[in-house]
Amino acid sequence: MALSIGKVIGIFLFQSDIMYTEKEITEMGYQPAPENYFTGQALLKTYVNPDEKTNAYIGEVLFKPKTRTKWHTHASNQILLVREGGCYYQEEGKPVQKIKAGDFVNIMPEVKHWHGASPDGIMIHTAIGLNAEKGLVNWMEPVSDEAYNGK
């Protein structure tokens, strides 16, 4: 099975309808994410970069409404912990899934997928990339509006 969805209980407590000003977002330490990996506007906060001692990546991504990644794969598992808002997630050839705050997705290696915010508000997730020595992300083509809308 390529997808595991679970509930994170007692770790993250966030309201899904919170909206932030641009100033608040900047003050939280987010930086603009590389535009060539997203459709729409995403902001990134990196907690752990892989090095000779830590073989993982941990970061937080804030997606503005309708923003999504391009299609991509990972050489190892990627774990997404949805902290706030609604997350759209899709694996190639499968329907779009709606993942809510407090849930997580364990994405298996080499599964082509994308993820992003619902049209209704921002989405924040923590992304954990394991076994970084294998490579972190293989970026591909943009997600069409039709695919984003589940058509």
Beta strand 72-73 pairing with 68-69: unpaired
Strand segments, DSSP code E, in 18-120 are 31-32, 38-39, 42-48, 56-63, 68-69, 72-73, 78-84, 86-91, 97-100, 103-107, 113-117
Task: Kindly state which CATH superfamily the domain 3-10+18-96+103-115+134-148 is placed in.
Answer: Jelly Rolls (2.60.120.10)
Is-contact 141 70, C-beta < 8 A? yes
Instruction: Scan for tokens 């603009």, then name that residue.
Output: 32
- pLDDT tens for 16-71 read 445 666 666 656 788 999 999 999 999 999 998 888 888 889 999 999 999 999 99
Q: Which residue has the higher pLDDT, 133 or 19?
A: 133
Give the predicted TM-score (pTM) of the model: 0.81
Strand, coil or helix: what is 64?
coil
